[in-house]
Amino acid sequence: MKKLMILIVLFSLTACQGQDKKAEPSKAENQLPAKPNGKVVKTDAEWKKVLTEEQYAVLREKATERPFTGEYYKNFKKGVYVCAACGNPLFNSDAKFDSECGWPSFDQAIKGSVIYKEDNSVGMQRVEVMCANCGGHLGHVFDDGPQKTTGKRFCTNSVSIKFIPAAK
């Protein structure tokens, strides 16, 4: 009889835990402000329809692409870089520099285009950079950029941005 009671209690606890997990918001919903500066808000399903698998992993789940593999790492053409998720202009090409870190680097973002969040994941203290329009994860900003300009290095995932060439 004791064994039966223990099994019933364990089953009840396990069943309750399963119900609690279903009620929790998804991982991506936990990480995003409810309305990132009030502009673009989509469900996970909607984002998955418009982003590639790799873009979704970086922009919505805060993954990082492998260094030295991104499309824009060595792109120094004139133009503007926009958010790959929503098209928000983020960086002008004049702010881009070769930091040799393996990712596209900029010394400043377009004013009001990004938001910042403290990031203490992976045992490091960093500042996450997100699109102010949709909350998409772009990368991180560090204080080891060019001292002749801002001293900042916006280390950005290529898959989180798209390059729009300047008109000729």
Q: How far from chain centre, in Å, is Cα 33?
A: 12
Exposed e or buried b for every residue in 83-119, given b needs 16+ CB within 10 A?
A: bbbbebebbbbebbeebeeebbbbbbbbeebbbeeee
Q: State yes or no: is 134 an active-site residue.
A: no
Comparing C-alpha atoms, which of 163, 112, 156, 152 is closest to residue 138? Answer: 156
| Identified catalytic residue from 86, 131, 134, 155 | 155
Comparing C-alpha atoms, which of 96, 108, 92 is closest to residue 152? Answer: 108
Indicate which residues carry an active-site annotation.
155
